[in-house]
Structure 1
Amino acid sequence: VQDHFLFDKPVSPLLTCAGMARDWPDARGIWHNNDKTFLIWINEEDHTRVISMEKGGNMKRVFERFCRGLKEVERLIKERGWEFMWNERLGYVLTCPSNLGTGLRAGVHVKLPRLSKDPRFPKILENLRLQKRGTGGVDTAAVADVYDISNLDRMGRSEVELVQIVIDGVNFLVDCEKKLERGQEIKVPPPLPQFGR
């Protein structure tokens, strides 16, 4: 669970009230490649969650693996006469309304001991259209000042744009962290528009 390969029984009131823990653990499962860099969770929160991940900072490789894997999953699903739930206006329809649209959450674990204590940190994240979670994901605390930083938006932009926002934003956060380490001033960036184009 800590390595994000397995998922745990839902305990969040938002999920349990919606019946997400009903019949736990029946009809749940995980498929992964040998390297555990590509995973498919079945019936965790949504029917299917496709995950591409690895240690290091090669977001390009992670995203390319995600795209190849998702294409293959979609091909296999369509081959059987099924499809992901899609709405012309809302995009992919998922359990959590915050994931409507692309459904894509691109996350990076990054250590920010100084910036995370700076009162400007929430505004910086907001202006970069990023969100922070604890090291273990939603509703968890940061361990050793390591945060899971990801795109705030799922709608209004393409998957490529969302990944680029995370790459650019995390680079900005790391630059701020280094400046604070050297005792230099940091600035809150101007806000990105909420919806692209």
Structure 2
Amino acid sequence: MRRPAPESDVVLSSRVRIARNLRQYPFPMFANSAQSAKVMEQLLSVAESGRLNGVDSVQAIRLSDLTELEKLVLVEKHLISPMLANESRNAALILSRNEDVSIMINEEDHLRIQCLYPGFQIPEAWDFSSKIDDLFEESVDYAFDEKRGYLTSCPTNVGTGIRASVMMHLPALVLTGQINRILTAVTQVGLAVRGLYGEGSEATGNLFQISNQITLGQSEQEIIDNLHSVAKQIIGHEKAARSKLMTESRTRIEDRIKRSFGILSYATIIDSKEASQRLSDIRLGVHLGLLPQVSLETINELTVSTQPGFLQQAFGETLSPEQRDVARAQMIRTKLASRA
């Protein structure tokens, strides 16, 4: 999120995740400890042998070696899932140095390859994740059926086994009342809409994750092309809505954005939900040119660093919810004052 990226005023990130299982072992939910340990060691050996050519230097991390706080931070950075964080037995992570590649071992499936790119780069994320998938397939035997495709723990992933998604900031569509119509249309073309942390999470801060629902009956390229096409249309709608706000309601939208900036600049206590919404307003203000004194890099950093795990890591201690709200306000005040 620190790098310039295509359409970053609307799309925060693009992600492709590939689910795979090893033919000779039961799915993780049915595997015993000895079987899951063999899976972990076999998959870690691929990374540790240097066979992941083209991937920035990788680190193999056993989840059992991490503290609960360290696992929470990885969840907040979207590098592991909450499910993997709660399953430390024979669970592991292969992580690239710049964190654009994270590979989960013994989550819902034996292997989940994830490529996370800044901005609107779905094809690029797919190309890279596919290359990593091919490198693993040279070393292990995947569970594959000629009719059904790749076999996965959850039936909704059977087939290609891929989930592609974009994280989109859509404040203008929300403010102009168009968001429900847009999201309804999205679901009718086989895509799913979720919040910041995926399935079951709330779309706080006007952040929406758009992803494919269908993995069987379409090719990988069809899935990627469909998501890319729909996301491109949503980007166009969001930009048109922003132009409409500036044309028809400039005074009101400017007042809203600057009020949020003022609150975040001086508040002494703020919860995560309000912080997320206020940061959304400021992000919109930056892209509309209404807050030239604030950098997008600062807003990107605060979007992540004000999460509970990051806060506790930054302050070096376990914090109660109220203490986190005080620490969050302090961090935001400091960043806005020093890095605007």
TM-score, length basis structure 1: 0.77
Equivalent position to 2:195, from 129, 134, 138: 134
Paired positions, count: 168
Which amino acid in the other structure matches residue 28 of structure 1? A
The verdict on how the C-alpha distance between 1:6 and 1:121 changes in structure 2, with shifts beyond 3 A counting, is same
Name the CA distance, whole Å, in 2 between partners of 1:40 and 1:73: 11
Which amino acid in the other structure matches residue 200 of structure 2? D
What is the correspondence of 1:50-69 to structure 2 with a 5 Å cutoff? 50-69=113-132
Verify: 1:32 aligned to 2:90, yes or no: no
Verify: 1:101 aligned to 2:159, yes or no: yes
What is the correspondence of 1:122-161 to structure 2 with a 5 Å cutoff? 122-161=183-222
What's the CA shift string for 1:60-109, capped at 9, x where partnerless? Answer: 321221111111011121xxxxx221222222111111111101111110
Q: Mean alpha-carbon deviation: is it higher for 158-167 or for 54-63? A: 54-63
Name the CA distance, whole Å, in 1 between partners of 2:156 and 2:118: 26
Q: Mean alpha-carbon deviation: is it higher for 120-129 or for 91-100? A: 120-129
What is the correspondence of 1:12-23 to structure 2 with a 5 Å cutoff? none
C-alpha contact 1:5 1:39 (8 A) present in aligned 2: yes
C-alpha contact 1:37 1:54 (8 A) present in aligned 2: yes
Following superposition, the deviation at residue 112 of structure 1 comes to: 1.5
Following superposition, the deviation at residue 130 of structure 1 comes to: 1.4
TM-score, length basis structure 2: 0.46
Larger radius of gyration: 2
In the other structure, the counterpart of 1:178 is 239
C-alpha contact 1:134 1:140 (8 A) present in aligned 2: yes
C-alpha contact 2:172 2:241 (8 A) present in aligned 1: yes
Structure 2 unaligned regions, length at least 5: 1-74, 246-340
Taking CA–CA contacts closer than 8 Å with sequence separation of 6 or more, which of the two structures ends up with the larger relative contact order? 2
Name the CA distance, whole Å, in 1 between partners of 2:191 and 2:170: 14
Q: Secondary structure at the match of 1:54?
A: strand
- Cα root mean square deviation, aligned: 2.1
Name the CA distance, whole Å, in 1 between partners of 2:213 and 2:173: 19
> How high is the sequence identity, in percent, across the aligned residues?
25
Q: Secondary structure at the match of 2:81?
A: coil
What's the CA shift string for 1:106-146, capped at 9, x where partnerless? Answer: 11101122435533134311233211111111111112111
Q: Mean alpha-carbon deviation: is it higher for 91-100 or for 108-117? A: 108-117
In the other structure, the counterpart of 1:3 is 77
C-alpha contact 1:86 1:93 (8 A) present in aligned 2: yes
Which amino acid in the other structure matches residue 113 of structure 1? P
Which amino acid in the other structure matches residue 35 of structure 1? N
Name the CA distance, whole Å, in 2 between partners of 1:129 and 1:121: 13
Verify: 1:46 aligned to 2:104, yes or no: no
Equivalent position to 1:85, from 143, 154, 161: 143
Q: Mean alpha-carbon deviation: is it higher for 105-114 or for 56-65? A: 56-65
C-alpha contact 2:95 2:101 (8 A) present in aligned 1: yes
Name the CA distance, whole Å, in 2 between partners of 1:64 and 1:10: 25
Name the CA distance, whole Å, in 2 between partners of 1:31 and 1:160: 26
Which amino acid in the other structure matches residue 170 of structure 2? L
Following superposition, the deviation at residue 10 of structure 1 comes to: 6.5
Q: Secondary structure at the match of 1:138?
A: coil
Q: Secondary structure at the match of 2:209?
A: strand
The verdict on how the C-alpha distance between 1:43 and 1:167 changes in structure 2, with shifts beyond 3 A counting, is same
Which amino acid in the other structure matches residue 102 of structure 1? T
